[in-house]
Amino acid sequence: MQSGVRMVVGVTMINVVPGTEKEVYRNIRDMEGVREIYHVFGEYDFVAIIEVDGLSHLNKVVDAIREVKGVTATHTVVGAEL
């Protein structure tokens, strides 16, 4: 981390159209700012960990995820330092 630059960590839960999981995964895993992505079971299909240099950048990454063919919904929470 650069001096004076505060990193923002977002956790985005993602729902996709059934049958598009592999394609969605491949598209999201290589996006700038996406540190990790996990295929999960339950209410959501994927959880992506996003680490960027500000809320504006986080918003751009989440917008890009929403544009991926097969993505039907996202829910993002922002991490905070304690």
3-state secondary structure the chain: CCCCCCCEEEEEEEEECCCCHHHHHHHHHCCCCEEEEEECCCCCCEEEEEEECCHHHHHHHHHHHHCCCCEEEEEEEECCCC
- The per-residue pLDDT for range 61-72, each reduced to its tens digit, is 999 999 999 999
- The per-residue pLDDT for range 18-68, each reduced to its tens digit, is 999 999 999 999 999 999 999 999 999 999 999 999 999 999 999 999 999
What residues make up the domain containing 42? 8-78
The predicted pLDDT at position 1 comes to 45
For residue 1, tell me if it sits in a domain: no
The tally of domains found in the chain comes to 1
For residue 67, tell me if it sits in a domain: yes
For residue 19, tell me if it sits in a domain: yes
- The pTM is what? 0.89
The predicted pLDDT at position 18 comes to 97
For residue 27, tell me if it sits in a domain: yes
Q: What is the CATH number for 44?
A: 3.30.70.920
For residue 16, tell me if it sits in a domain: yes
For residue 38, tell me if it sits in a domain: yes
